[in-house]
Amino acid sequence: MRRIELEIVALSHSMTQSHNYAVVLGETRGQRRLPIVIGSFEAQAIAVAMERMSPNRPLTHDLFKNTLDTFNIVLKEVIINNLLDGIFYARLVCARDGDNYEIDSRTSDAIAMAVRFGCPIYTYDFILEAAGVMLEDHDDEHGSGIENPAASSSTFDQDAIENYPLDALHRKLQEVLESEDYETAAKIRDEIKRREAKD
């Protein structure tokens, strides 16, 4: 299976779930984005490491990194290796004394560790095909002309996504991506995938 390297492109607060966030991973050589909804604690752990902040006492992920460092274990890479029933799965690939070890991990924890170690994050093409969203050129032909009222921000009802026409959902997907509402983008993406699977 072809591995694809990802990078963190955004960490945003959830628009619909007050205690959730979305971390958005993007292809380092491509336009696809992979939004993953995470909890507030994990979002804080990622943000603290990205901003290079130093808490007075180590957070859980800092403690884990310090423990690995103490025993000369290096986190080489993180692999988001599966997607089942909307849940992402990940593995930490660690090295010690020339031997590699893989450790099962929640994806949010794996990302928090990757930021601390400065190691690459990978996934597989089938995961991006299933859960990724494409960031399109703003100047394409779909971005102009008369807007379908169903796709308008002011009238879009997140609780009734299934009632919107497919072409309106595609346009709305681009709109919410541009406004960095990645959680809504994930919901729209899932609805589009569900409909296309029926055809």
Per-residue pLDDT of the chain (199 residues; tens, 9 = 90+): 889 999 999 988 765 556 688 899 999 999 999 999 998 889 889 988 998 887 778 889 999 999 999 999 999 999 999 999 889 999 999 999 999 999 999 999 999 999 999 999 999 999 999 999 987 654 443 332 223 322 333 334 555 677 677 877 887 877 777 776 666 777 788 888 888 887 6
Same domain, 87 and 142: no
Q: Which helix (H) or strand (E) holds 166?
A: helix 166-178
Q: In terms of residue numbers, what domain contains 15?
A: 3-131
pLDDT of residue 55: 77
Contact 111, 118 (CB under 8 A): no
Task: Give the CATH number, domain containing residue 63.
Answer: 3.10.690.10
pLDDT of residue 151: 33
The Cα 169–Cα 77 span in angstroms is 35
pLDDT of residue 137: 53
Which ranges constitute the DSSP H helices of 23-140?
40-50, 60-70, 107-117, 125-131
**What is the reported pTM?**
0.69
Same domain, 157 and 70: no
Q: Which helix (H) or strand (E) holds 189?
A: helix 182-198
Tokens 């849940």 sit at which residue? 87
Same domain, 175 and 190: yes
Picking from 107, 131, 155, the residue at the C-terminal end of a domain is 131
Q: How many domains does the chain have?
A: 2
Picking from 112, 131, 150, the residue at the C-terminal end of a domain is 131
Same domain, 80 and 161: no
pLDDT of residue 168: 78
Same domain, 102 and 142: no
Same domain, 168 and 86: no
Count the neighbouring beta carbons within 10 Å of the beta carbon of residue 45.
Answer: 23
Tokens 């009222």 sit at which residue? 149
Same domain, 118 and 157: no
Contact 184, 15 (CB under 8 A): yes
Contact 48, 192 (CB under 8 A): no
Same domain, 105 and 126: yes
pLDDT of residue 149: 28
Given CA atoms 192, 124, 25, 140 in this order, what sign does their dihedral have? negative
Same domain, 121 and 142: no
Contact 45, 114 (CB under 8 A): no
Picking from 73, 103, 131, the residue at the C-terminal end of a domain is 131
pLDDT of residue 182: 64
Same domain, 99 and 20: yes
Same domain, 185 and 118: no
Same domain, 117 and 151: no
